[in-house]
Structure 1
Amino acid sequence: MDPVIVVGAGPVGLALSLVLAAQGVPSVLLDEDPGKDETRPARTVVLREDTAAMVERLGCKALRHEGMRWSGWRSMRRRQLVRELPLGEDSPEGDPSSAPVHLPQHVLTRGLRDAVAAQELVRVAPYSRIDTLEQDPTGVTVHTREPNATWWRGSYLVGCDGARSTVRKLLDIRFPGRTAVERHAVAALRTELPWPGQAVLHRLPPWRTGGAEVTARPLPDGVWRLDWLLPPRGELVTPDALITRVRDTLAGWCGETPPYELLDTGVYTLHHRLALRWRVDRAFLAGDAAHLLGALGTQGLDEGLRDAENLAWKLAQDWHHGASDVLLDSYQAERRAAVASRLRAADQSLPVLRGGKGLRTLVPGSARGHDSLLTDGHLGCGPLGAPPSYSHSPLAPPRAEAHTSVSTPPGAPVADVRVTAPDGTTARLRERLGQGNLLVVLVAPGTGVWDRRHWMTAGVMPRLAAAVDALPVKGELLVTESYPGASAHTVLLVRPDGHLVASFGGVRPRELFAAADAVRGGAVRAAVRSDQAAGIN
């Protein structure tokens, strides 16, 4: 079968090719301009717990060596501290992976490029800008213009080519939304602030140039990114005005302006847009080509990486075994709905959070609630930041009597518990994701003292192992000592992208099979395979 064509070698396109490769699917990565990855310290990304784990699983070493996991979060209002929240190792759970990771985008891109260079299943084609896209029942053909003019043949195509996506235009997909939702002045600088390692949100700071809001987010090597929310009516930010903001802000926090080294500055504008369609036959959109969002700490790249993880296992299922249209259509149904929900939450919150009137003057204590809403958005919680739940997915199995409840609702991301495989190896549950397998997790307290030589013949294991072998989709059997809200002998069925399908009270082979069949979208459509076309790469 032909490889998957990935158009665009930004972080989302690179990640998609790596996720496909991890599941044994080759891809051709069409890179329009390999030298376009600018070194911009002020252009940074914040990755939440789930997307950071995904990037590390793909072999990108940048997070571990050049990313900053925040040790805490501070919310301030005027001259008062509203909230201080420990994160990572300093949190009550003491889990470093629970803190967001902050790093420059060019560092992340370079780390993903290094991982791609070591991957034999990814072919990178530099200086390849497409100008023609044709589809037929067996695949996709695209033409790239000079200097590397040629035709490429693929089983599927995914446009990860950004906000001005050529793929989206060639597919004639509308991209409606709102322009210039917010503007921010940004500076990256090296200095010492009173809260090393902590991110800060300061609303209505008391100095003259503070504006409505300023945030400070730490990076490695003593570097900070500072963002000032600008007034909605086009204030011109001159270099002198930005330097004044920097000096006033540092003096406001430190008592006087400390020594600092200004590394980079800029002004960026947030847009909210959502493509009307994310799939046209064998062509898909992902990342900024499909959506633009970014207000209130929500990172568009986070959602783009979730697009890649959601789509990859479905394409891998079809590439290896064939797939139903229900499975392939579920990418748009799940991901577009999740991003639309995030955009609606931001659009509903912005007038209240930024307006300065309305509910704020009517509801006692509403200012503190607004600060909490903003904090949740920045930290990946609540309606503005929480990972998506696919509770209404077309892949969700019907509720059955054998289903039982755990703390994770069906469709939501599973908790990252420690699991053990039948061969005795242990890992975090997230480390087993992204390989194209359904995960079947048995909750069995006391397994830490089991003699692993006898696992497969003990208790319910033989019956459960037989049920896993009989699934219509390849499954992997794992065991955990405990899972939040689960009783002993609960069985969890988890999708390859880490979302809970269903939980069962005990070993229920028939119901487990039915749930796995629902996850693959039912019966596979009549597969149509194509041979490599003569003379086509």
Structure 2
Amino acid sequence: MPEAAHYPVAVIGAGPVGLTLANLLGRLGVAVLLVERNPTTVQEPRAVSIDDESLRTMQSAGVAEAVLAGVVPGYGSHYYTRRRRRFARVEPTGQPYGYPRRNAFRQPVLEAQLRDALARFPGVETRFGWTLLDHAQDDRGVTLSLEGPDGARRRVTCDYLVGCDGASSRVREILGIALEGTTFDERWLILDLENNENTTRHTEVFCDRRRPCITLPGPDRTRRFEFKLLPGETDADLLDPAMVDRLLRTHGADPRATLRRKVVYRFHARVAPRWSAGRVFLAGDAAHLTPPFAGQGMNSGIRDAQNLAWKLAAVLEGRLGPGLLSSYERERRDHIWQMVRLALRMGGIMAPRSWLHGALTQAGFLALNIWPPARDYVAQMRYKPPPRFHEGFLLPDGRGRASLIGRLLPQPRVRAPGGETVRLDEVLGNRFALLTRGDDPAALDRLSHPVWQRLDAARVVVLPPGAAPAAGAVAEPPGEAGDGFRAALAPYAGQALLLRPDHYVAAGFPLADPDAAARAVEALLAGCESPAVPA
């Protein structure tokens, strides 16, 4: 066997999560080996909803505009009783992170876009049709045994290995880690249609305990229908062409549409008890499985990729110590369980356990429509738990629920010094940044401690609307409130925020006492010097 080639990071699995991780690492200058057992990216529709957080990650990966060209942006959901009376409407209009909250997409298109984008990076190598046979690690790195499509075997080494290889993850299996949680008895029939002329641009949810159904929009005249199997029904019963035709006909499908895919699946609420062992990490479905009702399975995996990418890059380039990597699971685990619980609650609305339970739930939603704040809580998707870290690479400031620490910073549009209007992340970049909002373009000049140079932190002052941007400053365009950006930063007047490369807020501190802030950040960095999670 020839001498093993070496890569800083090896990623197993080229689904949306693995492809996103490889693109993020490529943009950060990290060489990557991406291994996929299938000969190409997925060719059939699977995930169908991409949210605003994931689109912001696509922006970080440098592919947002290409991805946006292939999505149906900003669709909502309408919920109906069994008598087809609408009792709830979800149509979020805000764009706190710079993009519509819910968007329909086609997974084969997204994966092809992400694969093509890897050609930008000479340090990223892909091996499709290759299978991971085994991996082993020591304190110097990880050794992989791979088998190619011709049966030839190769050995490669890497500093870090990330398993993005799905629910039946080979990486996780070798680690001896089993998913914990529940595999539900519920089964659902998925029908994917093409050339569908049904013009309803929103999701329709038929909350009928006799046969719950959800139908979702897609790009290019595609639409998905999902039907719950009832007790006593077999997969064959629902896959029968006559049954498929009847279900589609009674739920508004275009009779001339082409049936692209039909499959029965069970849903899961399962999470790995640990997401890493030494130099090996798990992400996406390899680490957690989420019921589909909130559309957060793939999106949760993309959050994993965003969280892990900058940390791997910071450790590999020596900017931060390997202990930083232990914050990955600590930061992500709580939010995963929040998404699982949200999906289960939404599933309970779609498929009420009894006639009375359904009637009371639907009556409750109708009552909420009477009070505008309650109605908007539903319509604007404020029930979706926002991403927030309570521990990890951050310095809590004691402000409780009003705190920005551990939160994803809102992304307004800003006017750059050249006069163009861009999303804020285009100015921040995928790096550490010091940000403040005020009317002094030189507000951050007094931050001269070496710790800021160690982080290579960009400095950005956001000026009030109408101000003329100067070097190192941007201005909010007149009339744009940035979906809460000003309100979020209002408690931090006279302060600076330390932003991480994933645009989460790590710390906030008064500009009047920069030395104390620097000492606190130095202590945070010192905490990263401990070893990563042992194998």
TM-score (norm 1): 0.81
RMSD, aligned α-carbons: 3.6
Q: Contact 1:298–1:380 (CA<8 Å) still a contact in 2? A: no
Residues in 1 aligned to 2:196 and 2:377: alpha-carbon distance in whole angstroms: 27
Read off the aligned partner of 2:147 and give its amino acid letter: R
Q: Contact 2:80–2:207 (CA<8 Å) still a contact in 1? A: yes
Q: Specify the alignment match of 2:270 in structure 1.
A: 273
| Pairing partner for 1:475 from 450, 457, 466 | 457
Residues in 1 aligned to 2:410 and 2:98: alpha-carbon distance in whole angstroms: 15
Q: Specify the alignment match of 1:451 in structure 2.
A: none
Give, in angstroms, the shift of residue 341 of structure 1. Answer: 3.2
Q: Specify the alignment match of 1:79 in structure 2.
A: 84
Q: Specify the alignment match of 1:334 in structure 2.
A: 331
Q: Specify the alignment match of 2:406 in structure 1.
A: 411
Deviation sequence 1:144-183 (CA, Å, 0-9, x none): 1242411111111001111111111111112122223532
Read off the aligned partner of 2:122 and give its amino acid letter: E
Q: Specify the alignment match of 1:438 in structure 2.
A: 432
Deviation sequence 1:206-235 (CA, Å, 0-9, x none): xxxx94432222222222222223335544
Change beyond 3 A, Cα 1:351–1:244: closer
Residue 178 of structure 2 corresponds to residue 174 of structure 1: yes
Residues in 1 aligned to 2:267 and 2:520: alpha-carbon distance in whole angstroms: 40
Deviation sequence 1:124-153 (CA, Å, 0-9, x none): 123321222111112111111242411111
Change beyond 3 A, Cα 1:507–1:68: farther
Q: Specify the alignment match of 1:26 in structure 2.
A: 31
| Pairing partner for 1:462 from 429, 435, 445 | 445
Read off the aligned partner of 1:327 and give its amino acid letter: L
Give, in angstroms, the shift of residue 85 of structure 1. Answer: 4.5
Residues in 2 aligned to 1:34 and 1:363: alpha-carbon distance in whole angstroms: 47
Residue 517 of structure 2 corresponds to residue 512 of structure 1: yes
Residues in 1 aligned to 2:380 and 2:34: alpha-carbon distance in whole angstroms: 32
Residues in 1 aligned to 2:139 and 2:157: alpha-carbon distance in whole angstroms: 13
Residues in 2 aligned to 1:377 and 1:296: alpha-carbon distance in whole angstroms: 16
Residues in 2 aligned to 1:407 and 1:424: alpha-carbon distance in whole angstroms: 33
Deviation sequence 1:301-322 (CA, Å, 0-9, x none): 1011111110111111110115
SS in 1 for 2:455: coil
Give, in angstroms, the shift of residue 328 of structure 1. Answer: 1.1
More displaced 10-residue stretch of structure 1: 416-425 or 75-84? 416-425
SS in 2 for 1:155: strand
Residues in 2 aligned to 1:217 and 1:363: alpha-carbon distance in whole angstroms: 22
Q: Specify the alignment match of 2:472 in structure 1.
A: none
Q: Specify the alignment match of 1:152 in structure 2.
A: 156
Deviation sequence 1:59-107 (CA, Å, 0-9, x none): 33552222111344322223222234444xxx37799822312112111
Deviation sequence 1:369-396 (CA, Å, 0-9, x none): 89999x99998652xx4342112x1323
Change beyond 3 A, Cα 1:521–1:357: farther
Residues in 2 aligned to 1:523 and 1:39: alpha-carbon distance in whole angstroms: 41
The number of residue pairs the alignment matches comes to 492
Read off the aligned partner of 2:314 and give its amino acid letter: Q
Read off the aligned partner of 1:226 and give its amino acid letter: F
Change beyond 3 A, Cα 1:193–1:145: closer
| Pairing partner for 1:304 from 301, 304, 328 | 301
Q: Specify the alignment match of 2:468 in structure 1.
A: none
Unaligned runs of 5+ in 2: 1-5, 465-484
Give, in angstroms, the shift of residue 495 of structure 1. Answer: 1.8
Q: Specify the alignment match of 1:397 in structure 2.
A: 395
SS in 1 for 2:104: strand
Q: Contact 1:360–1:366 (CA<8 Å) still a contact in 2? A: no
Q: Specify the alignment match of 2:116 in structure 1.
A: 114
| Pairing partner for 2:72 from 65, 68, 71 | 68
Q: Contact 1:47–1:100 (CA<8 Å) still a contact in 2? A: yes
Structure 1 vs Structure 2: percent identity of aligned residues? 29
Residue 353 of structure 2 corresponds to residue 355 of structure 1: yes
SS in 1 for 2:215: strand
TM-score (norm 2): 0.81
